[in-house]
Structure 1
Amino acid sequence: MNNTGTTTAALVLEDGRVFRGDAYGARGASLGEVVFSTGMTGYQETLTDPSYHRQIVVQTAPQIGNTGWNDDDDESSRIWVAGYVVRDPARTPSNWRSTRGLDDELVRQGIVGISGIDTRMLTRHLRERGAMRAGVFSGDQLDSPEAMLERVRTAPAMKGADLAGDVTTAHPYVVDAIGERRFRVAALDLGIKSNTPRMMAARGIEVHVLPLTSTFAEIAAVAPDGVFLSNGPGDPATQAHAVDLTRSVLERRIPLFGICFGNQILGRALGRDTYKMRYGHRGINIPVIDVATGRVAITSQNHGFALEGEPGEEFGSDFGRVQLSHYCPNDGTVEGVRALDVPAFSVQYHPEAAAGPHDAAPLFDEFCNLMSGAAGGQTMDEDR
């Protein structure tokens, strides 16, 4: 306890830096990669995004929790972040949709957090030093700096982490099309967010969400008009199975659309490597430029790995010509891939973004157009 009567807590970074603050959420200890998110809104969607599995999230917005927690905005069935770091948590939430406070939900789900620290200083430190392993400690887990640092440095790193299998669905399920069904899509769940099938359903797509362990025969059994590769956590270099499935889809010229982790999987299937970024892109205000049109979209992103290459670069693959179709003007990171000889494309950002922005939502319409145009090409008819 400190002199204000609150429980003290510590955020310990792999490089030895220690930030002291107040316990927020559950008491205990939690280890993970510490990253920062620049989103001003949407903290509930951030916390429940499976792509944040095993990450300690720092919110750069100073006030968090003002709108409480509701039962409608979750992007999955649980909170996935390993820990939570905020500056000024709301004392009393105020929103007509709120059913409880953020702190209450963090306690209920056992998420260890810390508040009252200078998140601006912490973010500047991470930008300079890069994302790294860290730990949040409070209650009876609060120990000497040396002991806590030892626990942090023995935790697994994000590079080489195979995490998509932790978050994928255990069993297939279907999200029905709204209104008349126009298409049927097989969505490979690498950590899919709830709003993605909803966005497709609104366009008349019946979405069959399949586990990561699915075989190509199981995908074919759905008789899909298209295949979707979702977002997800971890190092894409560990996803040999997903890459092999993607190559099988490309061989049969089935329309394919991927986002975020799915963009990296498609890129690897087309022959490109991926690399660990210094601190990644996480937020809802990240610009992306389409090299074909020069058009700028403000996007929602959450990724710490990216595809190698230069914006607009074209290269050959086992499936014909490919273009690196989008990039982030902030740092030149590749943000999209388009196959020019087979019906496949992907983006590094989130067109289903909740709580926004919605500049990229028309990409779902582009996927529909791709499926509409595939009628004259080779499809999975032989597998139906």
Structure 2
Amino acid sequence: MTEPDIDTVAAKLRHQLAEQLAATGWLRSPAWRAAVEAVPRHEFVPRFYVETDAPGLTTWVPVTPELVGLDKWLRQAYADETLITQFDGCEIDWADPQPISNAHPTSSSTLPTLVVRMLEDLQVEDDMTVMELGTGTGYSTALMCHRLGADRVLSVETDPEVASRARDALTSCGYRPRLRVGDGLLGADGSAPSDRTIATMGVRSIPAAWVRQTRPGGLIVATLRGWMRSLGLVRLTVEDEHTAHGRFLSSDPSFMIARQQDAPESLGMLPSSDEGTTRHTRYGPELLTKPDSGFVAQLALPHARSFSMPGDDGTMSTYVLDARNDAFAVLTPDGEGWSVRQGGPVLLWDAVEQALALWHAAGPAEFGLTVTPDAQRVWLGAPGGPSWRLPA
């Protein structure tokens, strides 16, 4: 008895993936389901890395047909997982791929759940045009080509090697969208404004070019993020070439941050043990990683980063540092609570506590974003409510 050929197995796996995505509630429309069932994701990820669950340093292992066998590679290609295709902006040596640790993923095929969620949230109609920022492997580009027609899809990728592989994969699958290599934060100057704009990279604020290059009444779907965590998925309606507004759809989704906006390598100077003033605080460092309070803390600390390390006596402290101005906050266990030592031109932990107080006082309320020529503000409840300015 002969083994089923790769196309037959892949078609079955695509159907199973579509069933799984529909069951989650994110894949809702027949047109996007047809795209998921038609586009061969394995063609866009012939080789990739997946994260292991081993303790210690985060480690990724290579997956290719030669290393794990055709069947396992194919099933992994259609798993609802993010598949990493590049680290630290460098090409992978696929002649001798090895496990990778202590690295920073810089290109991937995003987990299909998030891909289809964003495409559904884009609210496209048959005759619309889409500008995509971040071609990546080209898989999401192909889904849009299948849904709308390749001539209605424009995609921009900053990395020439990544763009070249995506072009080859798209062409081999019969899709020929308009592809550009360039800085995605600048959009695609010279093209007519798009009806919809979608970004598959995280940004600290919405680039002005995206607003300008989306027609009035059009939508922008993107993920905002900071240097500590993601702020989540936002959908904006464009009012004019300088103004847009909308609400956050979720605080969960996250993309790799745009390379041009990545955090500086230096975390800043560690404060000496006698710097700053110390007081009790009701909040410990766990609030920085919780979904809701972490979102609020990121708004309050747009330029900060945090990490933990033991002191001379072995006590673990959490440092929150702002490399721009050397402001710091150090959180240390204090009996059953916490103490915070702060210093610098801005009292970082005071800013977090004030933001949390505003959030708690508002009760159940959604967050939104308003983009104007002068500033971008995330607001709570309504545009006139408490707000925090995003970094330019």
Same fold (TM over 0.5): no
- TM-score, with length taken from structure 2: 0.28
Larger Rg: 2
